[in-house]
């Protein structure tokens, strides 16, 4: 019984770790995807990367919404997701801006 319990706990933890990790990497990967496909139609990434440390969250939200008005094809969810990535300068954004 004890071994079964331990096995169940181990399975539970590893399931949690894999799905959790997949979720995080997918979210971050999506920001890189948005930047590379939807933010480069009118200007290059340099324009975005230069501003990374200079804007806080409300400022990025204003900017990204303005880009949507210019014609960037982002859904509401993508706007939120991208603004979070840009504000936190997460790994995918740093990677794109290398």
Angle at 95 between CA 60 and CA 44, to 5 degrees: 60
Does 48 interact with ligand HEC (rule: CB under 6 A)?
Answer: yes
Does 74 interact with ligand HEC (rule: CB under 6 A)?
Answer: yes
Residues 6+ apart with CB under 8 A from 68: 74, 79
# chain residues binding ligand HEC, by CB under 6 A: 17
The piece of 1-9, 20-28, 46-54, 88-96 that touches ligand HEC (CB under 6 A) is 46-54
Does 96 interact with ligand HEC (rule: CB under 6 A)?
Answer: no
């Amino acid at each position: 019984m004890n071994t079964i319990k331990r096995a169940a706990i181990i399975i539970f933890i590893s399931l949690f770790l894999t799905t959790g990790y997949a979720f995080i990497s997918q979210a971050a990967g999506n920001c890189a995807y948005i930047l590379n496909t939807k933010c480069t139609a009118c200007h290059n990434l340099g324009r975005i990367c230069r501003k990374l440390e200079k804007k806080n969250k409300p400022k990025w939200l204003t900017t990204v919404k303005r880009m949507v008005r210019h014609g960037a094809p982002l859904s509401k969810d993508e706007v939120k997701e991208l603004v979070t990535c840009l504000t936190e300068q997460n790994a995918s954004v740093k990677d794109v801006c290398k």
